[in-house]
């Protein structure tokens, strides 16, 4: 994870996780290809039980997801879900949002960092996000928005001056809260259908980009 995204996540932790209580935290998409600063390091000053969840086993992963859109944890069992620089790589991320919502307890929080710009990277690089994207994710998953920001560069006239950008990736940050009341039955129906379809498709291997 790049430094600017870690800085944004640290701000979310400082602003929304008071240090005086215990938290059960899930790091969604936790795999680290190379050792480095992780979300566990950012949470070192908090009383937390942390579970790293990913679709592959390896460094910083405690639980491997049996399917890409199925988190093997109980509903309403998690205080905070953290996901940093992951959602741009998820082909059907709205389904992931529904699963994250399911495992969050009422009043629970999700902290998300994603790029708004930058070069193509990793196996799949599907998306870039702006604040309205955070709002759309929240609306779809029946979550409340606590924060939605993008590190846009300053303007020069009517255009953004990328030569003066403070960070290369232009991090977008979202903080979501699960409300205490929600349309549980309708959400369960939508989640069941979307999980079944998304898991049946799986990845993008059957949809190559034509050469030439």
Q: Does pTM top 0.75 for this prediction?
A: yes
Please give the pLDDT value at position 157.
92
Q: Tell me the pLDDT tens digit for each residue of 11-22.
A: 999 999 999 899
User: Quick check: is 206 in a domain?
Assistant: no
Please give the pLDDT value at position 37.
84
User: Quick check: is 55 in a domain?
Assistant: yes
User: Quick check: is 211 in a domain?
Assistant: no
Given a contact cutoff of 8 angstroms between Cβ atoms, the answer to whether 100 and 73 are in contact is no
In residues, how long is the chain? Answer: 212
Distance CA 8, CA 149 (A): 10
The parts of the chain modelled with pLDDT lower than 50 are none
Number of domains the chain is built from: 1
Residue-range definition of the domain harbouring residue 166: 3-201
């Amino acid at each position: 994870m790049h430094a600017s995204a870690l800085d944004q996540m640290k701000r979310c932790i400082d602003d929304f996780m008071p240090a005086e209580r215990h938290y059960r935290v899930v790091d969604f998409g936790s795999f680290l290809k190379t050792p480095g600063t992780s979300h566990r390091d950012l949470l070192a000053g908090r009383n937390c039980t942390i579970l790293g969840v990913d679709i592959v086993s390896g460094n910083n992963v405690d639980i491997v997801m049996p399917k890409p859109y199925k988190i093997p944890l109980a509903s309403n069992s998690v205080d905070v879900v953290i996901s940093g620089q992951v959602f741009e790589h998820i082909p059907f991320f709205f389904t992931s949002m529904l699963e994250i919502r399911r495992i969050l307890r009422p009043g629970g929080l999700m902290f998300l960092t994603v790029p708004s710009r930058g070069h193509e990277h990793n196996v799949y690089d599907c998306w870039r996000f702006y604040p309205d994207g955070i709002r759309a994710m929240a609306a779809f998953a029946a979550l409340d928005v606590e924060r939605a920001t993008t590190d846009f560069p300053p303007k020069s006239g009517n255009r953004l001056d990328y030569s003066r950008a403070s960070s290369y990736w232009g991090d977008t940050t979202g903080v979501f809260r699960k409300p205490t009341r929600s349309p549980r039955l309708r959400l369960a129906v939508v989640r069941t259908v979307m999980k079944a379809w998304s898991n049946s498709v799986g990845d993008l291997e059957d949809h190559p980009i034509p050469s030439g």
